[in-house]
Structures are given as C-alpha cells and as structure tokens.
Structure 1
Amino acid sequence: MNHKLLDKKIWWLIVVEVAALSLVYFLVIRPQQIELRRIKAEVQEKEALYARLAALSGLIDELREKKAAIGKTMDRLLKTRERGEMGLVVPASLMDIFRESKVAVISIRPVPEKAEGDLLISSWDISILASYHELGHFISRLERSADFDRIDSLTISSEGSSLEHRAQLIISRVSLLKSEQEKK
C-alpha cells in the first residue's frame, strides 16, 4: 500500500513539475525569446541603417568636394567674365573726356588686359579725328583726369584737309585688382 501511495505522490509531483515547467516556459522563457528575436531584428535594422548612413556620409563628402571644385571653377569663370566685361566697356569718364575735347571717335577696340602684380591694366586702341588744338586739349584732359589713364602710343596722320588729323592712340587705365576680401 505504501508503494501505491508513493506512486500517486510521484505522479502528482510529476504533474506539478510539468505544470511548473510549463508556467516557467510560457511566462518567463517564451517572452524572453520573443523579446530576444525582436531585439535581434531591431539590431539588424539599425546595422542596415548605419551602413546606409555611412554610404550617404561618404557620398556627402564627395559632393562637398565636387561643390568646392565647382565653386572654384565658377569663381575663376566669373573673374574671367568680369575682366572680359571690364575690357569691353569704355569707362564713362573717358567718354566724357572725348565729348569735352570735341574729338570725333572713329573706332574703339579693347586690347587684352594685363595683370601685373596687384595692378590690372585695361587698354583700348582708339582712332580719333581732330584738329591739332582739339587733339592737344584731349591729351591734356586725359592726363589731368583723376583716373590713372596713360597714353601708351600715339600716331598722327593727316587726312584730306590740313585742319583734320587722324590720331591712333592706345590708352591704358591702371587699377587695383580686387582682393578676395573685397569680393565677399
């Protein structure tokens, strides 16, 4: 009889142990496994995001370098364009001297600019028609002007009448190049 009672107790213990183990599995182990899978999936997502961000960071650095190179090219092109426009435009003060001196301007052609150190030399090849008196007045006004104008060459030839003479001049204006700080 003792033996039967012992068997019943063992069976009850086995049932209680199975129930306890089931409870431990369903209440502790299984939720932890689910949480572990969720954390692993989240870590994989974060690693994939980190890899994409690293690739984008490299791309951003490359784009910044390209932007800097394009910026330098644009600055160089703008400087070239600015210098080109300055060479094509005859300053208003020079045009005023033409008018005041009553000389007839036949042609004006820009001469390529030269940069010498911090100086920019803009030149024009100018052909005018005037009397000696008008030509002398023109040269005098040009040399007295507040701008740094100079006559690089002067050739005078007679036209049909002795009163009118054709003068071929190369006039230069010396100015300071703009520094990087002044441009900003």
Structure 2
Amino acid sequence: MADKPDIRVLFDEDTIAQRVQEVAEEIAADKPHNLLVVAILKGSFMFAADLARALHKSNIAPEMEFLHLSSYGKGTVSSGEVKVLRDIESNVEGRDVILVDDILESGRTLLFAQNMIASRGAKSVRVAALLDKPKNRIAEIKSDYIGFDCPDKFVVGYGMDMGHAWRQLPFIGYVPQEGDE
C-alpha cells in the first residue's frame, strides 16, 4: 500500500453523524410515498447506509437499491462520459425515489441518473448529496437534500476515494494541494 498522504479533516465523524440524522429528518418531513433510496456507487455507500439507519429512526422504511455509475475510473477528474456498470432491479413506476450520492460536483452523473429513473415513471426523483460543490457545476441539477457545502478541494474518506484508496476513513478529509492552507 502506498504511503498515506497528509489528509486533513474537513468533517469529523460526529459532525457527519449529526448531519446525516438531520437530512433523514428533512426527508421524513416531506412524507415520501413508497420510498426507494438508490445509492449511487461506489462513493455513496457509507452515506447511504448511515442515511438508511437514520431514516429508520425517523420512522421511514425505504427500500434500498444500488446504481453503479462511473465517470472517473482511476483518475481524479471526470471523463465526462457516464457509464452504467450496474442498474437497479426495482420497478420505480409511481414511487418517490431519492438518489443518494457522495458529492454533487459537475452534476453530469446525477443528472444522468435522475433522467434515467424519471423516464421509468417515478413519481418524483430527488437528490440527497452528502457534499455540494457547485463551483464546477456543468449540468442543470441541484440537490434537494444537502449534507454539507464542500470547498473546492479533492475530498476523500467516508466512502470517497483517490485512485480507489482512502474510502475507509471515518471522516471526510482532503489532501492539501499547492495553495491550500
């Protein structure tokens, strides 16, 4: 394994846990009908798991699905082309669907997923993004539920990776680049 870079904490475990519960309460307040939570893999897996448990605490019992999309590969910059690596199996017709993703940045991947699910007859398709990073937004999409506003840094941890490393970190951090404080 490569040497661990100097990873600085942006959001610690307790802060994340508190915010995830608040997002679940926001979702519950919207009273979703026959809710299907679709985790966009791979980066959202920790957020999606914690959100599902938090929804349970808020008396919401969603079904869970997983949609594996890719636009990065092993790089740190999106290729711009979204590929479906694994589709969902559930029928979404007439259901409220929440797409759960780790980070809303360019928006291409989430817009692709939102359009795909909507075209299958979902009653609604909302987005819950752990991190919102609007500076590099290209697609016309916004998150309905936001965990945190994210500074313009490459983040790792809590499911997010750098070249497939550091997903396991229990916090969200960043590797300082030239010009970072």
TM-score of the pair, normalised by structure 1 = 0.23
Structure number with larger C-alpha Rg? 1
Decide which structure has greater helix share: 1
Higher relative contact order (CA 8 A, sep 6+): 2
